[in-house]
Structure 1
Amino acid sequence: MDQDIPEIMQTLLNLAEFMEHCEKGPLPLDQKLLGERAMKCRAYAKALHYKEDEFHKGPTTEVLEALISINNKLQQPEAASGVLDYATKCHVADLKVKERWYEKLHDWDNALKAYQQAREQNPDNVELVLGQMRCLEVLGEWDALYHLASDQWGSVEDINKQKMARMASAAAWGLEKWETMEEYVHVIPRDTTDSAFHQAVLAVHKENFQVAQQFIDKARDLIDTDLTAMVGESYSRAYGAMVQVQMLAELEEVIQYKLVPERRDAIKQKWWDRLQGCQRIVEDWQRILQLHSLVVKPKEDMRTWLKFASLCRRMGRLAQSNRTLVTLLGTDPSPNLYQPLPTTYPAVTFAYIKHMWKSNLKEEALKQLHHFVQTELPSQNLNHICPPLAEETQQRTEQQALLAKCYLKLGSWEESIQGINENSIPRILHYYQLATEHDANWYKAWHAWAYMNFEAVLFYKNQVQQSCAPTQAGDGTCSSYSNDSQRSGLTGQHIRDYTVPAVKGFFRSIALSHGSTLQDTLRLLTLWFEYGQWGDVQNALSEGLRAAPVETWLQVVPQLIARLDSPRAGALVHQLLLDVGKQHPQALIYPLTVASKSTVPTRMQAASRVLRSMKEHCADLVQQAVMVSEELIRVAILWHELWHEGLEEASRLYFGERNIKGMFATLEPLHAMMERGPQTLRETSFNQAYGRDLAEAQEWCKKYQRSMNVKDLTQAWDLYYHVFRRISKQLPQLTSLELQYVSPKLLMCRDLDLAVPGSYNPNQPVISIAKVESMLQVITSKQRPRKLCIKGSNGKDYMFLLKGHEDLRQDERVMQLFGLVNTLLVNDPETSRRNLTIQRYSVIPLSTNSGLIGWVPHCDTLHTLIRDYRDKKKILLNIEHRIMLRMAPDYDHLTLMQKVEVFEHALEHTNGDDLAKLLWLKSPSSEVWFDRRTNYTRSLAVMSMVGYVLGLGDRHPSNLMLDRLSGKILHIDFGDCFEVAMTREKFPEKIPFRLTRMLINAMEVTGIEGTYRMTCNKVMKVLRGNKDSLMAVLEAFVYDPLLNWRLMDSQPKVKHAKARSGSVPCSQDQGDMLDAVDIGSQPTAKKGIDSASAAGDGEAQPEALNKKALTIINRVRDKLTGRDFAPEETLDVPDQVELLIKQATCHENLCQCYIGWCPFW
């Protein structure tokens, strides 16, 4: 095959790939040959597929190096790095980590070390010298590079001099040794971009501008061909060439700068603006700034060089950061850090102090910053009296802003070193207050001050609880009135002292914020709901509410409605909801309708009052919302299903627990419903079929209540059982519903004012309901959710899953948390470049046990995918479980070590590569497969970390979905949060997230090493770096009276109750899986309908709840500070992630999961 005809080669490669997807099997071609040809064609995704096949046969050094190269070509540095990690960890005898592997991964420090060590063994090896020079150039070590080049120059052959010349020239340029640079430049091979560029630089230095322009034009012509080819492939592939083109343009601007003095300021500004658009890559910035320094010395362009030093610091290039700052300071302070730093340029001094902190000289940095703000900076204000007034004013403003930054750092560093205690709180607050005074419009300062006041409130609140804990009386107050009582009173006063400033501070930071205000708003609500009854707090709240824009509260509507009947805050919440309702009625209408159906009278009345007030200005909207909500609930759970579930629950209470009172409590509302009479044709047919039997059964029940004769109840249950059996036979035939039979009112809906559920956006026109499609598909799963289509006023169809039997309010709050996490991931440069976001969907509760979920298209549960794949391949769905049962029929009664043995036996006798093969077979080409697999691995890693922080449990294969088009993993069903699955009695979970072998095998060949681990590290770093924001959402979640009853529900209450299962946006349920593996039910059981809805409306024991809530919050805080494994030891992010992965993949933990969780998958 001739490489001159790539079109033919590409066609053959496509054919080979097509045949591999066919059942007839692959073409009889050598995989190695296909991989080589794919590389020549630049078909890197295909090359990766073939190289990975080679890797599976045996990971040789050549294969590993090829994998590193291919992943680099595909812009996958994490995957390439994973190959290197694999090579260093696997200890295979003939595997040798090569120095250039580090180089390919841009791990320049390690590459330099590797080259230096290799040169100690082999000092004359020119390749090692060249490698060392490449590393020194990238690291900006001009001195070392210059001396190495000088030492080697005389002893190497001409061909190697040509390879060295560009780097030697760069070093000479960096040290401004122009004559030496000229000597090196002449050796750079002619007709290369590097030669033309360096010649142009020299000509500019000599002010020979005409010659310089000729070389610039030549360089542009040479780079043109490469750039055109690479832009065709992708922007990221072409980025390096784009930087070179930018440098050529800026070299022309350097000439302009020299020739036209009046354009200098404009050119400098243009350079600054351009740099802001560049990626934050240290090497690129270094080359660009080196070019600028031909005409602008670092001290003349402080702003840019300080930005560069900051970039180096953030990227861990501390030596480079130090060199830059030493150049700007004009001296190296490191030999004597106890002496005051030079303060000629205050901004540089501050940057150097931050560099000291990052270099782990924390105590010294704190002392230097103290000295700097107390003595040096204030005196600077007195020195500069000479300049004209305007310039002086600007200088003063800059000085004030710098002081504000210094005080903010002092506060955060003080908190970092001292922690939060009685002594440190006033000091930290003093620093933050000074920051707000020096820059009154700075969000960060106000947020820090408000948040520290909030932390002080929490600190003293904990102290009150601790002093009360040992001697708590029945009414929840302290029974001891000695010193503890006085201390408690004093502490209560402290809480008051810090609450009002916290409230005022949060209102100020909300007003100044340009990004997400969710965390500040939630903290404000926490203080409001806890201390809103105090007069001074109420005044601060009223004042703040008048000033804050109404839109601020739209993001926390669920939290506001949850406190509608709160005795402490209800009146103010009521007023705020009225204000929101006037401007944004669509945002309130659905959640208020849910609250108006509450079983708690005070709550129902409070919600009804707000709805009545809203009727004054939007009567039609309220009426439509109530009607649509009621009708959707009617369609979500038909009478057949209500009676089926009710009878099942009643029979459990009567026959299982002998709870006759509970049985009547379950049946009475159902009989009352029958007495109210049917309203639809479907209800009428139910009444005709079962009404007489149920009425007769009710009579027997009433007779029993009069006579207390058990025979009467037996008569009733004979009838109930007869009805139950008939309904059970009828339900499987429920495959679709027509609105004319189940809800004629919904069918009649046309062009309503009411917005399509979940679509309201205050900044967009309202999309209202045009009509509801007449046919609803019933999905065949345990809970029979309905697929519903609503046509919007914009002509689009909006698909939903209408779910009964389930409280979706917790899922709604989890989506709120995911929204915040996505904002954090998008705002972080490391994670935003990789599109690391969580797939969300709209969740609209309609009542305490029904609601709508936005339909996610193109998704299947992992269970469905594996079931279909195994059916096609004639593999038993539960093969692993069969193997386990064959070895140990009494698996659940084995000891832990015996379970491990049986579990590992099943793994050894099955491949567990179903998902990996699925991803390949369902992708039309290697390119699509590669993109999907990358998305799969990244999305799995993101949710592993976020799910761990949330304490998300019960991740069985029907609760994970795969997007068929993008490859992203989507999680559903968030019933088990805050590690309740870990504390249940039967089958408590031991793993932090799902990371089973099938999920690992579907990643790149090195498995966890590479994209997965590095994504976990990046995401956990973002989560830990934004601990305050996440804690705000999670605290609001834990203390929410509508949700926190779940925290106490960790023990299974019902043996045969249906699990909160995967009736999800897909056609499959975990029920099939459980049937297939012969296990009865999931260990998490749902409460009875009525008890759940009552508890779900805030009826729970406050003392036990508060204790549990505090435990949960402390646990989450430990996770976000790296103290989750040992409270006294703070782990860094990579160590924390490593321990989590070990826990998640440990066979001892996996073998203890219940069988329906499918740990062997």
Structure 2
Amino acid sequence: IKECLPILNNLRKQTTTSTTSENILTGIIQNVNTISQLSSFPVTIKNATSFQTANQHEQRLRQLISKCYLRIGTWEHELFNITDDSILAEIMKNYKYAWKYDNSNYKAWNAYAILNYDAVNYFKQQQQNLDIFNDTYRILIAKMICCTISAVKGLFKSIILSKVKYCLQNTLRLLTLLFEYGQYHEVYEAITEGNRTVPIEVWLYVLPQLIARIDSSKPLVNKLIHHLLIDIGQQHPQALIYPLIVASKSIVHDREFAANRVLNNMREHSHTLIHQALIISEELIRISVLWHEKWYKGLQVALEQYSTNRNISGMIETLEPLHATIEHGSTTVNERKFLDSYGNDLTQAHEYIRRFQQTRDQNELIQAWHLYYQVFTCIRTQLANITSLELEHISPRLTINCQNLELAVPGTYEPHKSSITIRNIQSSIKIITSKQRPRKISIKGSDGYEYVFLLKGHEDLRQDERVMQLFGLVNEFLLTNDETRRRNFTIQCYPVIPLAPNNGLLGWIAQCDTIHTLIKEHREKACIPFGIEYTYAREKAPHYDRLPLLNKVEIFQNVLNSFEGDDLAKILWHKSSNAEIWLNRRSNYIRSLAVMSMVGYILGLGDRHTSNLMLDRISGKIVHIDFGDCFEVAMIREKFPEKIPFRLTRMLCKAMEVTGIDGIFRMTCEYVMDVLRKNRDSLMAVLEAFVHDPLLSWRLLKNNNNNEQQSTTISKTSSHLPEQQHYQSHLSIINEEDNEHESTVGEKIQQQHNQESGQVIRAVEIMNRVREKLTGNDFHREQPIDTPTQVELLIQQATSHENLCQLYIGWCPFW
């Protein structure tokens, strides 16, 4: 370091050697390998320099000192535990010096923000088991507030200085602090002040999270969210309108009221836009589930309650809203036809139900169900024959009132660009043949292009919306890394627009087919029985699903040895016009499969059956859909838990190159996992917001996953296969009621505190599991494992016959 003094003097005096001198100094910093050595270095520079002028050379020296302090702080942060107050203060001091000497140093501000953010989370964990009247609890609260204010300051500054246009991970960290600690006046003031320094567009990318907390019970938090949404609504009404209408349809009064407050404010400056959006939303919801489908599903549920569970009160509760719907009268041709066909029978059946409620005469109930079942069978036959719908018959308002609107086409709005508005909606709507019967709907935009969507009913798309946020961030990381950018490693994303808690639009993925459909078509052409593997397994063992594990493995391996399982490989070859196209598609197939295998593993994505994987007919890329099972909920469910980290069955492997998983696939997995591990702090920020989202936490925060959801998942996939009745026998097992016990505490304030702590437990478990994956500690070895070892162990798990044979049959493990 003493040898640097002549260089410093020379740097101040000679312009011609300044760059060389700085390079030498920077080289010294990079080669110093102890904290003590590096700590004395900035002091030496400061002693040799007056910093009285603001010339270019001294500015560069300041930047050099800033780098020194940042490096010291980073080393200390990695080496030492922030549980010690003195160490935390020391690291904080170095980060402060780093941004004081160079106020435009993004890395310094970001490190300072994350340190304070981590400290807040640490103090929060420390207070979990403390009584709120305890002195230590109060001290921890004071520390948390202090660190929260510092974190807020650092996060806002990081967002301003970030090279990324809108820094999603730091914005989500800000929201987490707002939701948790915004009720403290000092934190509220810090966020309000910081918000004045960033463009309003920063918040557009976290609208789902803002809307999720629109009914916060904390007054200051509620006030801040309300003001943010008002500001967004004034400058970007097109971005806010769809998510706000979803919240306004909530059955929770406080959410509905809060959303309508913002909507009423928007009406003052965007009245026409609001009116058009409400029409579009209401009518799309109407056509997503028609009366025929509502009654079919309702009668199906009521029939099970009546005949299987003998739950008469539940049956009546299911039927009453359906009767209320038809009593309001019809508004479309389709609804009038429904009433003409079934109105009298349903009215008569309802009368029998009313008499039963008065007399408790079982004969009345039998008479009612005679009519209900008759209607049920007729609707089932009718639905099987309906493959398309005419818009004028199911929603005349969309035909008449939705021409040349001001409203943007869903999912197309971008700030500071001209809006692509709705010109009209295509008159014919196709019904996709599946259990949920989604619609393929086409909207023509003002730019002349057709925008195609999948309109879904009976499905909450808000979790898919959050997953797309995560994929967008991962794509940013992959595009900023030289190796992954050069090889075009990205995830296929598509718009997700919820219209109501159980309805929404998905961007149509053009030129794609599910793996399931492709295999079905291939086997039909080749005259191969569709479920030949499972049929063979049942011949060998009629009760295959009930066999002990060792016997299952034996039968499973016997099946694999008896059939080639090269359907997908042949599909890729037959659908390619020449070898060059085939080679390109195969490479894209392998890379896209590997990218999503790694990202899906970090996310804990389950239920990867063949109907949730699509293949692009042109590029050959694999596209994933349906993200209902995240954070390993499929692994911890009671019946048919999944034991594999991602889908890597033999059919997928045989479609790869001659080296199989040991070529492009393994290399891609290692590159992608390396990028994910390097960006773990950012990923953790996004996933933490995901886990704590109040609209989604019901899926994540229970160890026993919602059994009805399990039933739906398994019945959806099983319905594609032959011998459906056999598979449906699984449902009775999975439909067992989940009896959970919640402890209660006497004092109300302590009870509320304990309930909040209990809610956090599962979230902490999830985040700890994600952290283990991103640090190489997921296999619980003595030392963290490197990326190649981690990928190897994951591939072993995914291809293990022992794991695959335990999956439910609708997952198609033989493929």
Same fold (TM over 0.5): yes
Matches within 5 A, 1:631-642: 631-642=283-294
Distance 2:225 2:139 in 1: 30
The answer for the alignment partner of 1:1007 in structure 2 is: 660
User: In the alignment, residue 352 of structure 2 is paired with which amino acid?
Assistant: W
The answer for the alignment partner of 1:336 in structure 2 is: none
User: In the alignment, residue 379 of structure 1 is paired with which amino acid?
Assistant: N
Residue 588 of structure 1 pairs with residue 246 of structure 2: no
CA shift in 2, pair 1:652/1:425, >3 Å? farther
Distance 1:1102 1:898 in 2: 45
The answer for the alignment partner of 1:716 in structure 2 is: 368
User: 556, 571, 583: which one pairs with 1:918?
Assistant: 571
Matches within 5 A, 1:42-61: none
Residue 621 of structure 1 pairs with residue 283 of structure 2: no
Residue 422 of structure 1 pairs with residue 422 of structure 2: no
User: 123, 146, 152: which one pairs with 1:497?
Assistant: 146
User: In the alignment, residue 435 of structure 1 is paired with which amino acid?
Assistant: A
The answer for the alignment partner of 1:403 in structure 2 is: 65
CA contact (8 A) 2:182 2:188 kept: yes
Distance 1:524 1:628 in 2: 33
Deviation sequence 1:378-415 (CA, Å, 0-9, x none): 23425x99xxx78xx22211111111112122222112
Distance 1:838 1:498 in 2: 36
The answer for the alignment partner of 1:347 in structure 2 is: 26
User: 392, 397, 409: which one pairs with 1:745?
Assistant: 397
CA contact (8 A) 1:770 1:790 kept: yes
Deviation sequence 1:738-797 (CA, Å, 0-9, x none): 011100001111000000010101132100000001000111111111110100011110
Deviation sequence 1:89-127 (CA, Å, 0-9, x none): xxxxxxxxxxxxxxxxxxxxxxxxxxxxxxxxxxxxxxx
Distance 1:1075 1:1025 in 2: 48
Distance 1:860 1:365 in 2: 57
Deviation sequence 1:436-456 (CA, Å, 0-9, x none): 111111221111111111100
CA shift in 2, pair 1:998/1:750, >3 Å? same
Matches within 5 A, 1:738-1137: 738-748=390-400, 749-1048=402-701, 1050-1051=704-705, 1053-1054=707-708, 1058-1059=712-713, 1071-1073=719-721, 1075=723, 1078-1080=726-728, 1104-1126=758-780, 1129-1137=783-791
User: In the alignment, residue 269 of structure 2 is paired with which amino acid?
Assistant: H
Residue 1154 of structure 1 pairs with residue 808 of structure 2: yes
Cα deviation, residue 514, structure 1: 2.3
The answer for the alignment partner of 1:707 in structure 2 is: 359
> RMSD across aligned C-alpha pairs, in angstroms?
2.4
Residue 685 of structure 1 pairs with residue 334 of structure 2: no
User: In the alignment, residue 103 of structure 2 is paired with which amino acid?
Assistant: A
Cα deviation, residue 1131, structure 1: 1.5
CA contact (8 A) 1:510 1:520 kept: yes
CA shift in 2, pair 1:365/1:934, >3 Å? farther
Cα deviation, residue 1122, structure 1: 1.2
The answer for the alignment partner of 1:27 in structure 2 is: none
Cα deviation, residue 575, structure 1: 1.1
CA contact (8 A) 2:531 2:722 kept: no
CA shift in 2, pair 1:1051/1:348, >3 Å? closer
The answer for the alignment partner of 2:38 in structure 1 is: 369
TM-score normalised by structure 1 residue count: 0.65
User: In the alignment, residue 438 of structure 1 is paired with which amino acid?
Assistant: Y
User: In the alignment, residue 632 of structure 1 is paired with which amino acid?
Assistant: L
Residue 557 of structure 1 pairs with residue 207 of structure 2: yes
SS at match of 1:572: helix
SS at match of 2:513: strand
Gaps of 5+ in 2: 1-15, 737-753
Matches within 5 A, 1:357-756: 364-374=33-43, 376-381=44-49, 393-423=55-85, 424-465=87-128, 467-468=129-130, 478=131, 485-515=134-164, 516-568=166-218, 569-748=221-400, 749-756=402-409
CA shift in 2, pair 1:636/1:978, >3 Å? same
User: In the alignment, residue 502 of structure 1 is paired with which amino acid?
Assistant: A
CA shift in 2, pair 1:662/1:420, >3 Å? farther
Distance 1:547 1:1073 in 2: 57
User: In the alignment, residue 70 of structure 2 is paired with which amino acid?
Assistant: L
TM-score normalised by structure 2 residue count: 0.91
Deviation sequence 1:176-214 (CA, Å, 0-9, x none): xxxxxxxxxxxxxxxxxxxxxxxxxxxxxxxxxxxxxxx
SS at match of 1:547: coil
User: In the alignment, residue 567 of structure 1 is paired with which amino acid?
Assistant: S
CA contact (8 A) 2:387 2:432 kept: yes
The answer for the alignment partner of 2:13 in structure 1 is: none
CA contact (8 A) 2:18 2:57 kept: no
Matches within 5 A, 1:250-329: 302=20
Cα deviation, residue 694, structure 1: 1.7
CA contact (8 A) 1:778 1:787 kept: yes
CA contact (8 A) 1:957 1:1070 kept: no
Deviation sequence 1:989-1036 (CA, Å, 0-9, x none): 000000111111111111111211111111111111111111111111
Distance 1:487 1:1127 in 2: 36
Cα deviation, residue 1160, structure 1: 1.5
CA contact (8 A) 1:1052 1:1083 kept: no
CA contact (8 A) 2:299 2:319 kept: yes
The answer for the alignment partner of 1:142 in structure 2 is: none
Residue 1144 of structure 1 pairs with residue 798 of structure 2: yes
Cα deviation, residue 1158, structure 1: 1.1
User: In the alignment, residue 727 of structure 2 is paired with which amino acid?
Assistant: I
Corresponding pairs, count: 777
Deviation sequence 1:220-279 (CA, Å, 0-9, x none): xxxxxxxxxxxxxxxxxxxxxxxxxxxxxxxxxxxxxxxxxxxxxxxxxxxxxxxxxxxx
Distance 2:437 2:624 in 1: 20
Distance 2:96 2:307 in 1: 66
Cα deviation, residue 1070, structure 1: 6.3
More contact order relative to length (CA 8 Å, sep ≥ 6): 2
CA shift in 2, pair 1:1085/1:433, >3 Å? farther
Matches within 5 A, 1:156-235: none
Distance 1:1086 1:680 in 2: 39
Cα deviation, residue 420, structure 1: 3.1
Cα deviation, residue 875, structure 1: 1.9
Deviation sequence 1:63-88 (CA, Å, 0-9, x none): xxxxxxxxxxxxxxxxxxxxxxxxxx
Gaps of 5+ in 1: 1-295, 307-344, 354-363, 469-477, 1063-1068, 1089-1099
CA shift in 2, pair 1:433/1:1082, >3 Å? farther
CA contact (8 A) 1:680 1:742 kept: yes
Distance 1:1104 1:455 in 2: 21
CA contact (8 A) 1:1058 1:1086 kept: no
CA contact (8 A) 1:1051 1:1084 kept: no
